[in-house]
Amino acid sequence: MIHSGAVVAAGVSQGRSTSLKKDFKIFEYFRRDTEKRDFVSAGAAAGVSAAFGAPVGGVLFSLEEGASFWNQMLTWRIFFASMISTFTLNFFLSIYHNKTGDLSSPGLINFGRFESDSVAYNLYEIPLFIAMGAIGGLLGALFNILNYWLTIFRIRYVHRPCLQVMEAMLVAAVTATVSFAMIYFSNDCQPLGPDHAEEYPLQLFCADGEYNSMATAFFNTPERSVRSLFHNQPGTYNPLTLGMFTLTYFFLACWTYGLTVSAGVFIPSLLIGAAWGRLFGILLASITSSGSIWADPGKYALIGAAAQLGGIVRMTLSLTVIMVEATGNVTYGLPIMLVLMTAKIVGDYFVEGLYDIHIKLQSVPFLHWEAPATSHWLTAREVMSSPVTCFNRIEKVGTIVDVLSITSTNHNGFPVVMHVAGSDEPAKLCGVILRSQLIVLLKHKVFVELARSRLTQRKLQLKDFRDAYPRFPPIQSIHVSQDERECMMDLTEFMNPTPYTVPQETSLPRVFKLFRALGLRHLVVVDDENKVVGLVTRKDLARYHLGKHGLEELQLAQT
C-alpha cells in the first residue's frame, strides 16, 4: 500500500503520462525534483493511512522513513492527505459492504478494538512485555540474517528473469505443499461453535460437528488470523498447532521476502509475532495456577506482534502510533513503545533492519541523518573525487558531446571554470552546469554562431527545461553534425553562477551536514584561490559507515 500510494502520488502530481505520451498541461509547477519528493512522501503516508486506518501513523511514518528533507508546510500537507485518504477508503468500503454512510472501517486492515475494560494490563506485566520485546528483537535479527544470505545468493546466481519467475513459482508450490501436508497430518479438531466464527470450516478427518483448526490457520487471510489471535477467547488455540504454524510460517515468510513479486513483510511479521505472543500468553496462564485471568492471551498476542515487527523493520515512532491507532486504544501506547524500543536495541546489536540491509545490497547511496560518529578526522580532500571534468565558460560543442558520451563515467554535474585571459594560471570556478541542461541546450542548438538567427526564433524559456523532466533524452539521441561540433556554446546564461563550495580542509561531518541539509547533488571542493580541486557527490559520502571495527569505507557497485 505504501508503495502504491507513493507511485500514484508521483504520477498524478506531474499532470502527464510519459509512457502514454499524453500531456494534460496541468500541474506544471510540480515538475521538479523537490516537489515530486514531497508528493512521494505524502503518497507513502496516505498509503499507510489507508492500509491501517492510522492517519497520524502515516504522517509519522513519512517523517521517520519516507522523507529526507522535511519542512513545516509538509507536515500539514501530509496530514491532510492522510486524513482524506482514510476517509475516502471508509466511504467506499461502506458502499462495498452495502451500508452506505456507515463509516466504520477506516482501514483495509482491521485489528478489532481493544476495549480498555475487557483487556487491561498491570504494572507488573511490563517487565514481561520487555522480555517479549527482547525475544522479538532476537527473532527479528534471525529473520534478517537469513534473508540477508538468501538475498546475496539471489543477487549472485538467480539474476536472469526466467530464473526469477521460476523461483517465485517454486516458492508458491512449496508453500502450498507444506500447508497441505500440515493440514493433512494434523489431529487437532475443534468443535463448531454456534456463532459461526469460522467462515469456511474444513472438516477433513475430524468427527462430524468439528473442524480442523490447522486448516483454519492456513486458509484464513493473515489479517483475519491476526484479528482472531488478538480477540478469540482463551482456549481457542491448541498450543501445538499454533507452535507448528508459527515455525513453518516464519521460514516461509523469510524465504518469500525478496522474491520478484509484490509482497510485503508487515502483515506476515505481525502474524508470526501474534502467534508466538499468544503461545507465550497460554504458557503464562498454564504456569500460574488457579487460572488467574490476568494472563489474557490476546493481549500478549498484540505485544508479540509489535515485538516481532519492531525486531524486523526497527521502526519505533511510527509503528507505535500505527498500532495504537489500529487497535483504537491509547492505553497500550506505553507497553508498545517500550517493546519496540527494546526490540530495536536488541536487534541492532546483531544486524541492521531489513530495509537497511536491502538498501545496502542494492547499492543505493543512502545518506543517514548524521555523519558516522568517528569521522571527524576525514577531510573533504580524502572524500572528494578528483580530478574533475570541467567545462570552460565558452566551450566547444564537440568537447561537450564527447564528454557527455563517455559511458564509463556517468557524470551529471560539471563545474564551469573561467580561464583568465592571456595567463597560464589555472582556471577559477565560476559555476556549475548539469547534464540535463546541456542536453536541452544541445537539442535546441543554442550555439554562439547561431545567435543572430535565433533572435528571430523564440528565446529559450524555463518551460523548455521543465518539459523534458524527468526523462531527459540520452546523449545518443541528440544528433550533432560535424559542422556543429566546431561551434561554441556559451554557458554563462544557463549555469548556476553561485555554487556551494567547501575548502579542502573541511571535515567530513561538516561536509555531510551541508550536503544533507541543503539537499545538494554536487559540492565543489576548491583551494584557497578558488580553483576547482575536487567534487563531492552522494556516492562519495555514502561510502562511509560505522561498522563493527570503527569507521569503514565500503565500495558501491554500479547499478
Smallest separation, CB 531 to another protein (Å) = 13
- Phi, psi (deg, nearest 5) at residue 421: -65, 135
Nearer to another protein, 120 or 178 (CB): 178
| Footprint on this chain of another protein (rule: CB under 8 A) | 153, 155-160, 163, 166-167, 170-171, 173-174, 177-178, 180-181, 184-185, 194, 205-209, 363, 377, 379, 381-382, 384-387, 533-534, 539-540, 550-551, 555-558
Burial 234-267 (b: 16+ CB within 10 A, else e): eebbbeebbebbbebbbebbbbbbbbeeeeebbb
Give me the least distance between CB of 152 and another protein, in Å please.
Answer: 11
Cα diameter, the chain: 102
* Minimum CB distance to another protein, residue 273 (Å): 26
12 or 176: CB nearest another protein: 176
Give the containing element (helix H, strand E) for 524: strand 523-526
- Report how far Cα 94 is from the mean position of its chain's Cα atoms: 30
**532 φ, ψ to 5°?**
-70, 120
According to DSSP, the residues that pair with 429 across neighbouring strands are: 417
**Nearest distance from C-beta of residue 186 to another protein, angstroms:** 11
The least CB distance from residue 537 to another protein, in Å, is 9
CA quadruple 354, 355, 359, 365: dihedral, nearest 10: -130
Least spacing, CB of residue 157 vs another protein, in Å: 5
Give yes or no for a contact between 374 and 360, defined as CB atoms under 8 angstroms apart.
no
In the bound state with another protein, the residue whose beta carbon lies nearer, of 182 and 468, is: 182
Measured from the CB atom, is 261 or 450 closer to another protein? 261
- Tell me whether residue 174 or residue 420 sits nearer to another protein (CB atom): 174
Q: Which is nearer to another protein, 109 or 384 (CB)?
A: 384
Closer Cβ to another protein, 488 or 546, answer by number: 546
For residue 262, the minimal CB distance to another protein (Å) is: 21
Cβ contacts of residue 342 below 8 Å, gap of 6+?
130, 133, 134, 136, 137, 307
Closest distance between another protein and the C-beta of residue 381, in Å?
6
Least Å distance, CB 214 to another protein, is 14
Overall size of the chain counted in residues: 559
Measured from the CB atom, is 108 or 172 closer to another protein?
A: 172
Closest listed residue to residue 220, CA positions, set 240, 239, 237: 237
Show the cell assigned to 302: 498484540
Please enumerate in sequence order all residues whose Cβ is within 8 A of that of 76, keeping only pairs 6 or more positions apart, or say none. none
The CA–CA distances, whole Å, from 222 to 154, 162, 280 equal 26, 29, 20
C-beta closer to another protein: residue 18 or 386: 386
Spacing of C-alpha 435 from chain mean position: 28
